[in-house]
Structures are given as structure tokens and as C-alpha cells.
Amino acid sequence: MGCETVKKEQELATQINRIIGGRENIHAATYCMTRLRLTVIDKSKIDLAALKKLDGVLGVVEAPDQLQIILGPGVVGRVAAEVTALTGVQMGEVQDLKSQIKDKNRTPLKMLLGKLAAIFVPLIPAIVGSGMMAGLTNIAVQSGADPQGTFITSLNVIGWGFFSYLGIFVGINTAKEFGGTPAIGGLAGILIINPAIASITINGMSLVPGRGGLFGVILVAWFMTMIEKQVRRIVPNALDIVVTPLVTLLIGGFASFYVLQPIGGLLSDGVINLFKNLLDMGGAVVGFLLAGTFLPIVMTGLHQGLMPVHMEFLNILKANPLLPILAMAGAGQVGAAAAVYLKTKNSKLKKIIKGALPVGILGIGEPLIFGVTLPLGRPFITACVGAGFGGAVQAAMHVNAISLGLSGLPLAFLIQPGHIAYYFAGVLVAYAAGFSITWLVGFDDPAEEEYEQPAKGGA
């Protein structure tokens, strides 16, 4: 069984490599929980129709800077390893190629979300692992464990350690994304989160460690990358290793304290206040709209660009009302897929749903999007409507998350104490609404030989 699985994934990696044009057409490669993300040199060399029809490919998204191949959890990591073995391109490594990647379908918003997604996607495993550890700690305390005891203290250190230093990782990835030195990007994170900056007083006010959060870190890391590039252009090679990082850090440090951290703070406060005021004023209606429109964002892969917003809710308010609402997008789709499973006579479609439904319940929705609801059309829309009802419940009951992690049922571990029952109520409403609306609206049941998975997403 194991050998057969490995052979199948080797073959899939070989076919993907052939269809995309081989190693010479890969500029960068990485992967997340469900997607193999390839930045290619020339998209015209790729046979997208053939790629979408490969057995094992659930869908393909053409993002602003990437070709995202939906493979599903577990499978994607093994296929990524096989792609590395075939091409020599390490996941996360950018090849030193002179060719410029052209994309005519860019907009400023798509480019911004794409950049943010690229910064946070490599951090997802650590975010999920740390978030779920924090959730287990929360459950242990609620079950009667001593919050001051060694066991809970140890769990807190294990679970929250990554989030305490997340700014450094974000700074490193920001520098990578904009072509700077990763270590200098890490210094940008330190400039923002270092507790020692509280001793610095500017215009009669002490600096606040962490002010601006991840928005501030990204801003400072980007600025320092720009400074580094300009300094390197004029500094002799023999002095580069000394002069360039010194000048970059000196300028970046003072710019951070006097200008960039305050700007980051205003940006952070503005974004959080926007969402908070919308929810305070609109309540269930806004919850319905946010949850009901989130699946299309997940479809494009740009949902990871919202990661700094989630983190800023936790940094500023110590609670995140947005995450439970958006999690309902997956719940509505689970209900819609269950209705399709019971109604369809297509054995291939039933098999896909049986494989994708469990991971959908656990909060990983792409296999259901690209393998079931999106190809069928109407179930994707009814799933969005079902999600809206679940989001309305979460907003009306003021459900908050206390950390980041998987959505779906596992998110219950991360829900604020006293709100878990409300969260489950919202999930059940989204399940029921997605199921019943899909059942009533129906769909065109494909013939056995006609059903494929060529769903394509836009970005």
C-alpha cells in the first residue's frame, strides 16, 4: 500500500514537471497544507488543460505570481518532495534566473494580498502547531489544571513561544519576498518587538514594544530591503559585508522609531477598528456577508493575506472575532458537499466527496472547492449562502478566538471560554443551511464519463 502510494505520487510529480515545462521553467517553489505553489518563467509553456485533468490534481489557480496546484493535505508534501527530487529546486528556494516573470492580470490589491500570502504561507505549519498547542492548554485549564503549575506553564511556553517571536520570522520572509537579506529582515522584526525600545522616549512619549504589530514589521523590513539595495549599488564589493548592513540597520532603525512604527501603528489600529466597528454596527448582517463571500477568496489562495489582520486582533484586543466568522465558509461547504453526496449518482463524484469531506470538517476546504462544489457550479453558491448563516450566528453571539490554528471543528479548541457552545451552534447552522439550500436548489448531476475536476480559480 505504502509503495503504491509513493509510486503514484512519483508519477504525479513527473507528470506535473513535464506539463509545466521542466526545471528550466520554475523560478521558485513552495507548498502549504493543500497547494503546490510554483512561480514559473513562461506560462505559455504550460498546458493548463492537461494539468487540470491529471488524476490527483483537484484544481489549478492562476494567482498573480504563482501557479497553485491543489493536491490536498498530506499528498502535497509528498509530491513537493518528489518535485524537488526531480528538478533539484528546493521548496522555498528561488532560482537565480535572469528571466523576468510577466503577468498582465495584476491589480494593486491582488499584488498586495499575493505578497502577504507569500510571506505567511511558509509559516503556516508553525502557526497551526503552536495555535493548536495553545488550544490544548486552554482546554486543560478549563478542565481544572492549575494555571500556575509546571505542566500548564510548560505548555504555554511551547504553544506561545512562536507567536512571541513571530515578527522576526515575518521580517525574514518579507526580506526574502522583496529581494533583501533575510537576516536583515529579521532585524526589522526585532526593532519592533524588542522590549528594550520601551526605554526610548521620542517627543515626550515612550515607544511601545510591538506597536504596529506585523504591519509595522512588514513595513520596516520592506524599507530596510530598499535601503540595502540602494547602499549595495554604491558601496565597493570589498566593503559591502561591513558597510551595507551597518548603514541599512542605522537608517532602518531610526526610521523605524521615528516614522515607520507610528505609521504601522496607525495602519494596524485602522484595520482592526474598521472590522470591529463593522461588526459592532452590522452584527449578524456583516457576519453573513463576511462568511458568505470568503469562499471565493479561499479559491484564489489570497486568504493567507489576511493573516496579519488576525494577528493584530490578538495583539490589540487579545481576541479575534473575525476568525470564527470566516471559518463558517468551510462549514457551509461541508453541508453543501454532503447534500451532493446523497443526491448524486456519479460514483467518481461520491468517491471524491468521501475523501475530501473529512478534511473539510477539519477546516481544510480546498479539496471540496476544487473537487466538488466549484466544478458543479450551483453548490459553490449555495455553500456560500449556507456559510453566511453560520457567520451570522458567530457575529450575533460575539464568538472570539484566542489564537490561530485550523478552522472547522478544531477551531473549537481556540474559542474563548464560555463561547464554545455558540461556536458549535454556528457550525451546525452552516452545515444545515449549506445542506438544505443545496438540496432544494439542486445541481446538474454529471454523467459518469463526463465528470472531471478541471475547476479553475481566478486571481
HSE, side-chain direction, 13 A CA sphere, residue 231: 22
Pair 256, 314 in one domain: no
Residue 96's pLDDT is what? 43
Q: Which helix (H) or strand (E) holds 350?
A: helix 347-361
Q: Please indicate whether residue 32 is annotated as part of the active site.
A: yes
Pair 170, 241 in one domain: yes
Q: How many domains does the chain have?
A: 3
Which residue, 237, 269, 301, sits at the end of a domain? 269
Pair 86, 171 in one domain: no
97 band by pLDDT with thresholds 50, 70 and 90: very low
- Better-scored residue on pLDDT, 102 or 332: 332
Q: What are 294's three cell numbers?
A: 470568503
Q: Specify if 291 maps to a domain.
A: yes
Q: Specify if 324 maps to a domain.
A: yes
Structural domain containing residue 310? 284-457
The model's pLDDT over 24-52, given as tens digits with 9 standing for 90+, comes to: 788 878 787 778 888 888 877 787 888 88
Pair 293, 229 in one domain: no
Residue 416 has pLDDT above 60, yes or no: yes
CA angle 351, 356, 357 (to 5 degrees): 100
Is residue 67 within 8 A of residue 35, CB to CB? The reply is: no
Residues 228-239, buried b or exposed e (16+ Cβ, 10 A)?
Answer: beebbeeeeeee
Q: Specify if 240 maps to a domain.
A: yes
Pair 71, 187 in one domain: no
The model's pLDDT over 258-268, given as tens digits with 9 standing for 90+, comes to: 999 899 889 88
Distance between CA atoms of 184 and 187, rounded to whole angstroms? Answer: 5
101 band by pLDDT with thresholds 50, 70 and 90: very low
Number of neighbours of residue 254 by Cβ within 10 angstroms? 12
Q: Specify if 127 maps to a domain.
A: no
Q: What is the DSSP string of 52-117?
A: HTSTT--EEEE-SS-EEEE--TTHHHHHHHHHHHHH---TTPBP---PPP--SS--HHHHHHHHHH
- CA-nearest of 331, 307, 302 to 410 is 331
% of the chain at pLDDT higher than 70: 90
> Rounded mean pLDDT of 8-34?
81
Q: Identify the sign of the CA torsion 16, 21, 23, 26.
A: negative
Residue 171 has pLDDT above 90, yes or no: yes
110 band by pLDDT with thresholds 50, 70 and 90: low
Residue 231's pLDDT is what? 92
The model's pLDDT over 209-247, given as tens digits with 9 standing for 90+, comes to: 888 888 899 999 999 999 999 998 898 888 888 899 999
Distance between CA atoms of 389 and 309, rounded to whole angstroms? Answer: 23
Which residue in the list 19, 26, 32, 326 is annotated as catalytic?
A: 32
Residue 376's pLDDT is what? 86
Residue 4 has pLDDT above 70, yes or no: no
> Rounded mean pLDDT of 419-446?
93
Pair 94, 12 in one domain: yes
Which residue, 269, 298, 328, sits at the end of a domain? 269
Distance between CA atoms of 148 and 141, rounded to whole angstroms? Answer: 10
Average pLDDT, the chain: 84
Pair 450, 310 in one domain: yes
Is residue 155 within 8 A of residue 139, CB to CB? The reply is: no
Is residue 29 within 8 A of residue 80, CB to CB? The reply is: yes
> Rounded mean pLDDT of 352-356?
84
Q: Specify if 327 maps to a domain.
A: yes
Distance between CA atoms of 434 and 337, rounded to whole angstroms? Answer: 8
- CA-nearest of 48, 43, 49 to 106 is 43
% of the chain at pLDDT higher than 90: 32
**Residue 83, C-beta contacts closer than 8 angstroms, at least 6 positions apart:** 13, 16, 17, 29, 36, 89
Residue 188 has pLDDT above 90, yes or no: yes
Q: Specify if 426 maps to a domain.
A: yes
Pair 69, 184 in one domain: no
Distance between CA atoms of 25 and 13, rounded to whole angstroms? Answer: 15
Q: Specify if 122 maps to a domain.
A: no
> Rounded mean pLDDT of 415-433?
93
Residue 459's pLDDT is what? 36
Pair 10, 38 in one domain: yes
**Lookup result for grid cell 504596529:** 212
Pair 259, 346 in one domain: no
- Better-scored residue on pLDDT, 303 or 339: 339
Q: Specify if 109 maps to a domain.
A: no
Which residue, 100, 116, 140, sits at the end of a domain? 100
The model's pLDDT over 46-77, given as tens digits with 9 standing for 90+, comes to: 878 888 878 788 778 776 567 888 887 778 78
CATH of the domain at 76: 3.30.1360.60
Q: What are 250's three cell numbers?
A: 542605522
Distance between CA atoms of 46 and 25, rounded to whole angstroms? Answer: 9
Distance between CA atoms of 411 and 134, rounded to whole angstroms? Answer: 11
Pair 291, 400 in one domain: yes
Q: What are 285's three cell numbers?
A: 448582517
**Lookup result for grid cell 449578524:** 284
The model's pLDDT over 366-409, given as tens digits with 9 standing for 90+, comes to: 788 888 888 888 999 999 999 999 999 999 999 999 888 778 88
Residue 249's pLDDT is what? 94
Q: What does the CA dihedral 210, 213, 214, 217 come to, rounded to 10 degrees?
A: -50
Pair 316, 448 in one domain: yes
1 band by pLDDT with thresholds 50, 70 and 90: very low
Three-state secondary structure readout of 10-28:
HHHHHHHHHHCCCHHHEEE
Is residue 363 within 8 A of residue 408, CB to CB? The reply is: yes
